[in-house]
Amino acid sequence: MMKPRLAISNSGGRTSAVMTKLCLDKYSDTHEIVVTFANTGCEHPATLDFVKACDENWGFNTVWLEAVVGPPGVGIRHRVVSYETASRKGEPFEAYIAKHGIPNRTAPQCSSRLKTEVMEDYLKSLGWKTTLRKRDYWTAIGIRVDEIDRMSSQANRYKFLYPLIDMGWTKDMVNAYMRQYDFDLALPNDAFGNCVWCWKKSLRKLLTVAKADPSNFDFPARMEAEYGTFKADKSGGRRVFFREFRSTQDILAMSKLPFVPYQDSSQITIWDEMLDLGGACNDGCEIGHD
């Protein structure tokens, strides 16, 4: 008889890696499991290093995927890459923008296009049934119990599993688990996870990333310069990435403001004391979370 099927979406983060390890330890003998990592080309180099280290140390056998963005009328397809051949200059992301425009809170589909649909196209190539009505597998997603508000409200419909929530795992438990091993995710801090400059991150995290190295925003700055008028509203406005209609240049300018003590509630104060030193993003870009 065919084994139950489990797709594991490894985002490249520490929580996702621990979830993958626990699932493989528990279900490898009883389930047909495929572990995938969808690369957008905008991840921090340490993220790619960590995915590679998990394969080498824990035997994940991760399938590295990237989006192939087709012409109008053709959906997202996948290509299999490797640590060595994975894009590192945002190539899949730029291909998405060239077709669909700059993503932001009004047009938030980059995760579904660059991650969810990529994984589904790969699983379909293996003979798995990916259509919602006939789906013959469940997908494990790395979200902890202390971020339970990020669960999909339609988890059962889409067959999403959250093993770490079911097990009651917190961030402290994940970090303690990783301390058993001699390798880890070597990001400067959690503000750099997922796409380094991700528009879903809080302003504080974006400023942390910008203050550390303004070149972290070279890609979104170029995208806004080259594609800002593409699919913009008919009034002649421009599309920008960040919340409250902030552009990349706005983020960079705010990161350079000098220290001024907080004085009144109307003053915008984004200073060293407010920079993020840890914690997860307010919003994630796991599959199915656009």
Q: What is the pLDDT of residue 233?
A: 72
Tokens (6 digits) for 211? 């203050």
Q: What is the pLDDT of residue 259?
A: 56
Sequence-distant contacts of 149-156: CB under 8 A, at least 24 apart: 150/283, 150/284, 150/286, 150/289, 152/288, 152/289
Helix (H) / strand (E) containing 117: helix 117-125
> What does DSSP assign to residue 194?
S
Q: What is the pLDDT of residue 257?
A: 83
Q: What is the pLDDT along the chain (290 residues), one digit of tens a residue?
A: 689 999 999 999 999 999 999 999 999 999 999 999 999 999 999 999 999 999 999 999 999 999 999 998 999 999 999 999 999 999 999 999 999 999 999 999 999 999 999 999 999 999 999 999 999 999 999 999 999 999 999 999 999 999 999 999 999 999 999 999 999 999 998 899 999 999 999 998 999 999 999 999 999 999 999 999 998 876 568 999 999 999 999 999 999 987 555 455 444 444 444 555 444 444 556 665 55
Domains and CATH numbers, the chain: 5-187 (3.40.50.620), 203-274 (no CATH)
Tokens (6 digits) for 249? 């240049």
Q: What is the pLDDT of residue 258?
A: 72
> What is the C-alpha to C-alpha distance for residues 131 and 140, in angstroms, rounded to an integer?
17
Q: What is the pLDDT of residue 285?
A: 67
Tokens (6 digits) for 202? 């809080």
Q: What is the pLDDT of residue 129?
A: 97
Instruction: Report the predicted TM-score, pTM, of the whole model to 2 decimal places.
Output: 0.90
Q: Rounded to whole angstroms, what are the CA distances from 166 to 16, 146, 161?
A: 14, 11, 9
